[in-house]
């Protein structure tokens, strides 16, 4: 079963985490997971640049270490970088010590302040430790752009139908994602409905 929004239970389990910005203003926040990627990152940056939109990129430490030039490019264009772990570990299948060590390893290449759990999976024990140092950021809308079986038209439909004031949207920065194919159409759709896009600067 695909969940396009986190369930009520997620908010109860992770009350310190951010899922959506509380506002009545028609503002949206774009975030991108799993990059940087030599194929997809430059395309995403070009699209965002055309509309003067800044995003928060939750980067894999492994990918960031292998692509320092892309990391430099991301930051030079005014985008923020978050930590998405080094090895994209599943929190439900990883012990807390290994999980935390993976985040620390990634912090040297990504961020030591903002973290998004890979797969959105985080045990309560892991959460307790991670939240000592990081602001944990989930999302309000998951478009399943990474799922080839779901299809780009359905991913685009999810974005168009689910946006609301303060939505934090997660897309994926990798070649197997359809994000590059649907992002511009979605941006135009949202702008035409008087939404605006802002940078999710969770650290103020």
* Domains defined for the chain, CATH in brackets: 28-197 (3.20.20.370)
Question: What's the whole-number mean pLDDT along residues 113-125?
Answer: 96
pTM: 0.96
The vertex-162 CA angle with 140 and 4, nearest 5°, equals: 55
Question: What's the whole-number mean pLDDT along residues 104-125?
Answer: 97
Answer for the pair 134, 83: CB distance below 8 angstroms, yes or no. Answer: yes
In angstroms, rounded to a whole number, what is the distance separating the alpha carbons of residues 68 and 66?
6
In angstroms, rounded to a whole number, what is the distance separating the alpha carbons of residues 45 and 37?
11
pLDDT value at position 31? 98
pLDDT value at position 12? 87
204: pLDDT confidence band, cut at 50, 70 and 90? low
- For residues 86 and 6, the model is more confident at 86
Residue given tokens 């939505």 in the structure block = 167
17: Cβ–Cβ under 8 A, 6 or more apart, which residues? 127, 131, 136, 137, 138
Per residue in 183-202, pLDDT tens? 999 999 999 999 999 999 88
């Amino acid at each position: 079963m695909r969940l396009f929004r986190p369930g009520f239970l997620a908010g109860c389990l992770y009350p310190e985490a951010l899922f959506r910005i509380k506002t009545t203003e028609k503002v949206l926040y774009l975030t991108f997971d799993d990059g940087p990627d030599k194929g997809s990152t430059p395309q995403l940056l070009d699209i965002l640049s055309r509309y003067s939109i800044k995003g928060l990129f939750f980067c894999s430490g492994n990918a960031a270490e292998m692509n320092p030039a892309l990391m430099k490019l991301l930051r030079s264009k005014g985008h923020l970088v978050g930590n998405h772990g080094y090895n994209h570990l599943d929190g439900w299948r990883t012990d807390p010590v290994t999980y935390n060590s993976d985040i620390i390893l990634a912090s040297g290449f990504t961020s030591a302040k903002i973290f998004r759990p890979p797969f959105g999976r985080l045990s309560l024990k892991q959460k307790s430790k991670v939240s000592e140092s990081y602001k944990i950021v989930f999302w309000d809308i998951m478009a399943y752009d990474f799922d080839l079986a779901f299809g780009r038209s359905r991913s685009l439909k999810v974005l168009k139908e689910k946006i609301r004031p303060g939505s934090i949207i997660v897309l994926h920065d990798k070649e197997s994602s359809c994000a590059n194919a649907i992002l511009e159409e979605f941006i135009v759709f949202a702008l035409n409905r008087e939404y605006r896009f802002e940078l999710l600067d969770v650290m103020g």
